[in-house]
Structure 1
Amino acid sequence: MKTYNDVLKLLKQFGTYIHVGKRLYDMELAAIELDRLAKSGLIDRKTYATAKIILNHEHEEEQRHPLKLQQKNTFGGTK
């Protein structure tokens, strides 16, 4: 596991699909779900630690350099 998408794939293996709509919020929810998987004993400590490091890194990067792409909403405006 090396990327944010790898973390999302891990969560999908347990039936957790995340799409809040804002990348930063998606990462925060992914971190919460990882915590729950670890507390339930469904993932080992190494997998948990690796995924948390990836999420923390991506979260920091997103806060420093948010995506500047404007997305069209369903009404034709921008978010």
Structure 2
Amino acid sequence: MKTIYDVQQLLKRFGTFIYVGDRVADLELMEDEVRELYENKMITIEEFKDSVLLLRQKRTELVDK
């Protein structure tokens, strides 16, 4: 996974669409959803780690601005 779009596509595979209007809140909700998918063994550990790392990096970039 290289972009937030990739994470969105992962979530879309499970019928999850997230758009709140606040980009930071969107990223936090995406992380929660990815975590839940992993806990329910619906995605691999690699998908989980890549997604969470990417979401946290992007959230940090936005908060630091």
TM range, smaller chain: over 0.9
Rg bigger for which structure? 1
Post-superposition offset of 1:64: 1.1
Match of 2:25 in 1: 25
- Unpaired runs of 5+ residues, structure 2, are none
The TM-score with structure 1 as length reference comes to 0.80
Q: Which has the higher helix share?
A: 2
Identity of counterpart residues, as a percentage?
35
Hey, which bits of structure 1, 4+ residues long, moved more than 6 A?
Answer: none
What residue is the counterpart of 1:46 in the other structure?
Answer: 46
Aligned equivalents of 2:45, 2:34: Cα separation in 1: 11
Query: Superposition RMSD on alpha carbons, in Å?
Result: 0.6
The residue identity in structure 1 corresponding to 2:32 is I
The structure, 1 or 2, with the larger RCO (C-alpha pairs under 8 Å, 6+ apart) is: 2
User: Which one-letter code corresponds to 2:54 in the other structure?
Assistant: I
- Structure 1, unpaired ranges of 5+: 66-79
TM-score where L is the length of structure 2: 0.96
Which residue is 2:60 aligned to?
60
Q: CA offsets, 1:16-67, max 9 Å, x none?
A: 00001100000000000001000000000011000000001000001012xx
Say how many residue pairs are matched: 65
